[in-house]
């Protein structure tokens, strides 16, 4: 899931219009990420300079929900989905949660995560190397499941099923946060990294199909003009 697109096809009727071969869709993405350097710039497709703005926006967003009172989300354990080298774990999740698990399909990124996170890596519970389409979160384990810049790598049906499993992975008052690019209209295929960018109404529909509700939604501000709009959705 890159922040901009170069080579693309657009479809108005959803993913079925743009993704013809599901298994090639997944294997091409895996091959793409295996060639990407395990750096912050690599994670953000050359936009490493926006990482701090991104993390500040995410921190403000998440802090609305965390705390001790009734209905507040706990700070015991978080899951970083499509974590890459752990850019979000390092600056957002490890400073706020006692334990963080990382899941990503690219083993090389998870190998890099340990040195990248440094001392704090000792508070990582698990480094799972797995595609989200196959990942089963442990039931009742997570206060927050953070899913950023990766949903475009899942087909509609796999995303719905993944979100459903995430729901089962939440502790009481737990929260799923999805932060990603959104298209102005329809679904845009990026043939370079083999991902799609969906319009917001379609994302909302997939969330609903997973049996989740959007409890809060925000657009990330202060990103460069030329990249996709990025929206953050809190779900439970
Ligand atoms: C754009 S990077 C974002 C990394 C991280 N979320 C961040 O914001 O710094 C996309 C990440 O998704 C991972 N990825 C791609 N397809 C995946 C899949 N099907 N399941 C899990 N991870 C996947 C890649 O290996 C890569 O680490």
CA of 236 to the centre of ligand 1 (A): 22
131 Cα nearest atom in ligand 1: 20
CA of 3 to the centre of ligand 1 (A): 12
For residue 7, the model assigns a pLDDT of 47
Percent of the chain with pLDDT over 90: 90
- CB environment 89-117: b (16+ within 10 A), e (fewer): bbbbbbeebebbbbbbbbebbbebbeebb
Report which of residues 13 and 233 the model is more confident about.
Answer: 233
Ligand 1 pocket, mutate which of 81, 82, 158 (most atoms under 8 A from CB): 82
pLDDT in tens, 26-44: 999 999 999 999 999 999 9
Of 19-23, 89-93, 119-123, 229-233, which range is least confident?
19-23
Q: Which residue has the tokens 């003009």?
A: 225
Q: How far is CA 135 from CA 7, 8, 69, 147, 163, in A?
A: 29, 28, 31, 13, 10
- Binding-site sequence positions for S-adenosyl-L-methionine: 82, 87, 104-106, 132-133, 148
- Beta bridge partners, 212, equal none
CB-based contacts of 33: which residues, under 8 Å, 6+ apart? 105, 106, 109, 193
Q: How far is CA 85 from CA 37, 49, 72, 106, 194, in A?
A: 10, 16, 29, 9, 20
CATH of region 8-62+74-235: 3.40.50.150
Q: Where are the domains of the chain?
A: 8-62+74-235
pLDDT in tens, 76-118: 999 999 999 999 999 999 999 999 999 999 999 999 999 999 9
Cα separation, 227 vs 47, whole angstroms: 10
CA of 68 to the centre of ligand 1 (A): 31
Percent of the chain with pLDDT over 70: 93
CA of 150 to the centre of ligand 1 (A): 5
Cα–Cα nearest to 223, from 179, 159, 193? 179
CA of 82 to the centre of ligand 1 (A): 4
In this structure, the residues whose C-beta lies within 6 A of any atom of ligand 1 are 1, 29, 33, 43, 82-84, 87-88, 104-106, 109, 131-133, 148-150, 153
pLDDT in tens, 187-209: 999 999 999 999 999 999 999 99
Phi-psi region of 198 (alpha: psi -120 to 50; beta: other; left: phi over 0): beta
């Amino acid at each position: 899931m890159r922040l901009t697109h170069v080579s693309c096809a657009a479809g108005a009727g959803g993913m079925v219009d743009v993704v013809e071969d599901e298994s090639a869709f997944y294997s091409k993405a895996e091959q793409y990420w295996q060639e990407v350097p395990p750096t912050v710039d690599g994670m953000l497709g050359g936009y490493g300079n926006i990482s701090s703005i991104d993390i500040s926006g995410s921190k403000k967003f998440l802090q609305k929900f965390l705390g001790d009172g009734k209905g507040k989300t706990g700070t015991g354990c978080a899951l970083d989905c499509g974590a890459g080298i752990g850019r979000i774990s390092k600056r957002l999740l490890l400073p706020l949660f006692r334990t963080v698990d990382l899941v990503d399909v690219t083993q090389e990124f998870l190998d890099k995560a340990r040195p990248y996170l440094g001392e704090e890596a000792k508070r990582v519970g698990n480094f799972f190397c797995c595609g989200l389409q196959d990942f089963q979160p442990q039931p009742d384990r997570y206060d927050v499941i953070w899913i950023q810049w990766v949903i475009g790598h899942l087909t509609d049906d796999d995303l719905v099923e993944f979100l459903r499993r995430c729901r089962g992975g939440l502790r009481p008052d737990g929260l799923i946060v999805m932060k990603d690019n959104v298209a102005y209209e329809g679904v845009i295929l990026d043939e370079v990294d083999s991902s799609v960018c969906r319009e917001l109404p379609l994302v909302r529909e997939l969330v609903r199909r997973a049996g989740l509700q959007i409890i809060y939604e925000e657009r990330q501000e202060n990103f460069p003009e030329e990249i996709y709009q990025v929206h953050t959705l809190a779900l439970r």
